[in-house]
Structure 1
């Protein structure tokens, strides 16, 4: 009886503790009279603001809920509880530059003695950053780009685990859905406007969502960051929740206006009308009228000489602004050489709003040439002057001579200081990859007829490069990202930044291994020789991409489906190859054409180069002039036998390449 009573008492105690734990939560509409544990510059102002740091440089501040929280659900044997928090903040900087930012923090301790200010946000130092023993989760609001931590820009939101290299980050923005058009609206973290941030973790789904928006905007339906992650190895019991902020070399102020937190439930909404107001920021520029009068008199007396000086400076500065690298030997290339000034005007000074995307070796901008009013795409890449550059430019010019309806035309180039600018025909519909994999776009999905036509377009382009032009051109980077769509949604092969040329009938030279993981022919890593067969292999992977609507490697998929080629081979061997068809197509496709594309993809990606067809044979298969040979399992397997090195989350194309300065001599 005593033993039974003790067991009952233990279970009752755990039930009560669990029940109490479910009720843990708090809501602060302002912080007047609130008990927080603070250190450093952190303080609560007279009107109830939580000020994490002021304009003092190279300092930090912390503010934490004073009581430890048990995130593990006692009733379910250490299962991690869900939690939710939201807070309103305002950040102000007095100069164009400033930072770094602040972070919402979950930590096993409130003691950050030894942490550094500045880039370390008051959370880590040079010896403990990145250690798994930290058990620190931080949602950073950062407005100082730090290349050491691989920051994407100087105005971003990131999810950090034990480190300041974010597992996932994005420019500060929020999602809106208006007039059937979904888009993200950019935000500035540092202009003093009141912003609200939501952090939600769903324990069962192991999903962490982060959302930010102005306080006059309802909570967006789509979060800015959404990360599949199991936090149970990170969170120990108990943990503390709060904020950390740090200053750097220039003045900046961080304020939290209100904060709400809840375990096992949704944090209560803040009453925005009750939140305190941050103080008006005063200019640090003090006026001295008498000094200005004296200075103005002196300037007026010497106006003529100073005007001449500034005119000369203006002329020199403008000349340097548009200065180009132009050597005598480049004059032979004539119309292939563009003026930098024309490209600068065409792209409106390479403004971000003209940015089409980032790929290969650089950023691509939309432009309109000022003289001809022709729409172009201008790609900016970095390069270093070294031996072999002349050959590289000559090769660019040679590729610029390619003329085929299924190839994006390279119109020319420009060199300026450490930059190389490549000018292409403009493709209004962008990359095929967007149509296949971008789930956020509302644009019309490609039907099977359109996809099959694009496949034929790319095949015709490769046949022209391999056999029909005056030299053999090996593209070396055939993939859906490098297939662009014109206004009629015809496919055109582009981005020849890795291409190699050699004469017909000659043996290609050994070169560096470059390309994209998942598309690289297995023999390339052994011999280093580029020939048309490596393009055929990549084209085979491309065929499977288009038919299956999947990338070559999907780390989040099951082991069987991890590598696209392996999955298709497995289904083919079981007689269920059509199970791999892109679900977005439904049953709206020609079965014979689909089977042809899938089997041809396997044949082209054969691990034995001599078993692959050439592009002329591929075209005949696609046109139905000849039948595919019978496939055999021998050799039909992926070139990636060891996938242990693949990223476990958030995989996108991994390019294997040497720096462009080295690529110039390949």
Structure 2
């Protein structure tokens, strides 16, 4: 029992000793700090530690109130320690100097009989140089004392029991940027920072000085190889001592940090108290020089402002034609979009496509995040029709569609404004290697597929007009923050009334998603979107783009590859390998087969989107009988698909038309 008690006591004592040995403190200013003060030393109202003031031939001391143990009881050597402080010294009598201060380690906070001036309030004529002093000091001295072999009246020195420095150097620091030493004037009244670091194992004492506005230099000003064990007695006090020689002297410490057995914590310079103004107040030259300068400056500023206003108005000038008056609620100001996108900077660029560049923006008034598509458009009549259709499409309201908020028209350019989708477009998740950590699983992909199908059903059949999107593809499917898919980018969309026939003859869209009949008649109808949706289904399930030029000849076109694999009974071999086996076989087979059916080269063989939605929701099964028209075993009919020629049987194609009507 006694042995256990002893062991427990030793462990507890070791823990306490370790904590004592690792003591540290940091003062970013001295407001409310308990310091041992005597002489002229005081703490000012704003937290400055003032060591001496204007009184001649006086001194002041300021010490940490508690003694510190520097010696290891087991080895008898001095611990490593580190300290840093910010100080400022000022004297009006710069020609003769007149002040000195020092960081001090001593057995006592009191120095009876010590003299001011050159003795820095530490020694007198009889005690200076005695080995019994056990005093270690780093002096910042502006007095050249021949009796102490001072090198000049502006130096830093390491003092051991004496004021004849063991090592000293002119006040300066090594500039790492300029690769040279930069001189400093100690009594300038400018704040400076000093570091004192002792390595117990290496028995080396380093002193580094720098202006407060530069980082700590890599090369110290002083480096002394010394074993402090014979000088140090336990315990010791640490603090500052200062003395005056002439009138009008001020020595301050702004902040102080100390650490035993470690690196002193860096001072937070922005939190340090402000120094008072030193020296006489400068005479104002306002009336002799300032007034003319101010008048000329104001005149130049006025001219600059006028030029800026004229240039800005010209830069943001917009033409609002009469025919646009009815669309005014849907029109954005170019200035707002310019500010929102930070001037359409590349840093805000979300992506670039064949029909424009898309930028992220934050509207200056509402602070709403938007995506702004910038499209060049030159035909006046075409532009008028385009704007009319864009405003109409802006009325679409469906949770599976990215809302089109409005437009802006300026100098041959159109700007389309959409709600911003934080997760970007679907193609990034399918093909961009940098997003592999965010790969979509099958459940997410299937949910996105159904969302896009529902969006197309709404556009084709459920809104007041028929909207043909004309550019359905993975890069135009946006992912919201809940990872739901939304169909976006209606820059190519066309709409017409139910029961009418579309008259557009422009072939527009993206290579790989274009229905074959567009190359013949150029007329866009819902069947064109169904074809592109079929390619989209294969793209999502296979994790492959519609066209892969680097693939083997039979695999260049995604639809041909899947069709060939289906004919061989190996359709699951086309599934995206990144999914592994983590998918529902029935669902992925449905998607692949439905993709082939929707991308059929014969428009009448493609299902309507309502039928597609019913297949995806499992309301109607997709049987292999329905897909017989895709068989590649006969060859008496030419089928154009994505620019390739595949021979098909006309009799079999006829059988592929969906039963049950449209």
**After superposition, what is the alpha-carbon deviation per residue over 1:605-635, rounded to whole angstroms, capped at 9, x for unaligned?**
1111111100000000001111114211457
> Is 1:342 paired with 2:307?
no
Change (3 A) 1:640 1:356: closer
The alignment's TM-score, normalised by the length of structure 2, stands at 0.50
> Is 1:449 paired with 2:443?
yes
> In 1, distance between residues paired with 2:541 and 2:379?
43
The alignment's TM-score, normalised by the length of structure 1, stands at 0.50
> In 1, distance between residues paired with 2:442 and 2:602?
30
* 1:418, distance to aligned residue in structure 2 (A): 2.8
**What number of residue pairs does the alignment pair up?**
348
Change (3 A) 1:299 1:560: same
Partner of 1:639: 641
Q: 1:366 aligns with which of 344, 355, 360?
A: 360
Change (3 A) 1:300 1:555: same
Change (3 A) 1:521 1:448: same
> In 1, distance between residues paired with 2:429 and 2:508?
26
Partner of 2:66: none
* 1:311, distance to aligned residue in structure 2 (A): 3.3
* 1:385, distance to aligned residue in structure 2 (A): 5.0
Paired residues for 1:475-486 under 5 Å: 475-486=469-480
Change (3 A) 1:445 1:306: closer
Partner of 1:532: 526
Change (3 A) 1:442 1:608: closer
Partner of 2:193: none
**After superposition, what is the alpha-carbon deviation per residue over 1:154-213, rounded to whole angstroms, capped at 9, x for unaligned?**
xxxxxxxxxxxxxxxxxxxxxxxxxxxxxxxxxxxxxxxxxxxxxxxxxxxxxxxxxxxx
Partner of 1:414: 408
Partner of 2:430: 436
* 1:325, distance to aligned residue in structure 2 (A): 2.4
* 1:356, distance to aligned residue in structure 2 (A): 0.9
Report if the CA contact (8 A) 1:482-1:495 is conserved.
yes
Report if the CA contact (8 A) 1:400-1:409 is conserved.
yes
Change (3 A) 1:509 1:307: same
Partner of 1:558: 552
* 1:328, distance to aligned residue in structure 2 (A): 2.8
> In 1, distance between residues paired with 2:606 and 2:631?
10
**Aligned residues: CA RMSD:** 2.3
- Please state whether the residue corresponding to 1:371 is helix, strand or coil: coil
**After superposition, what is the alpha-carbon deviation per residue over 1:570-616, rounded to whole angstroms, capped at 9, x for unaligned?**
11111111111100011110000011001100110111111110000
> In 2, distance between residues paired with 1:304 and 1:488?
55
> In 1, distance between residues paired with 2:331 and 2:605?
42
- Please state whether the residue corresponding to 2:467 is helix, strand or coil: strand
**After superposition, what is the alpha-carbon deviation per residue over 1:200-237, rounded to whole angstroms, capped at 9, x for unaligned?**
xxxxxxxxxxxxxxxxxxxxxxxxxxxxxxxxxxxxxx
* 1:335, distance to aligned residue in structure 2 (A): 2.2
Partner of 2:322: 328
Q: Unaligned stretches of 5+ in structure 1?
A: 1-297, 644-666
Q: 1:606 aligns with which of 594, 600, 603?
A: 600
* 1:334, distance to aligned residue in structure 2 (A): 3.0
Report if the CA contact (8 A) 1:360-1:495 is conserved.
no
- Please state whether the residue corresponding to 1:441 is helix, strand or coil: helix
Partner of 2:574: 580
> In 1, distance between residues paired with 2:305 and 2:485?
51
> In 2, distance between residues paired with 1:425 and 1:330?
23
* 1:641, distance to aligned residue in structure 2 (A): 4.9
* 1:419, distance to aligned residue in structure 2 (A): 2.1
> In 1, distance between residues paired with 2:584 and 2:300?
77
Partner of 1:461: 455
> Is 1:620 paired with 2:610?
no
Paired residues for 1:247-286 under 5 Å: none
Change (3 A) 1:306 1:369: closer
Report if the CA contact (8 A) 2:514-2:642 is conserved.
no
Change (3 A) 1:586 1:473: same
Change (3 A) 1:334 1:510: closer
Report if the CA contact (8 A) 1:606-1:635 is conserved.
no
* 1:642, distance to aligned residue in structure 2 (A): 4.4
After TM superposition, the runs of 4+ consecutive aligned structure 1 residues lying more than 6 A away are 298-305
**After superposition, what is the alpha-carbon deviation per residue over 1:126-157, rounded to whole angstroms, capped at 9, x for unaligned?**
xxxxxxxxxxxxxxxxxxxxxxxxxxxxxxxx
Partner of 1:397: 391
> In 1, distance between residues paired with 2:305 and 2:556?
64
Report if the CA contact (8 A) 2:468-2:529 is conserved.
yes
> In 2, distance between residues paired with 1:582 and 1:501?
35
> Is 1:384 paired with 2:386?
no
> In 1, distance between residues paired with 2:421 and 2:297?
52
Report if the CA contact (8 A) 1:377-1:423 is conserved.
yes
Q: 2:589 aligns with which of 582, 588, 595?
A: 595
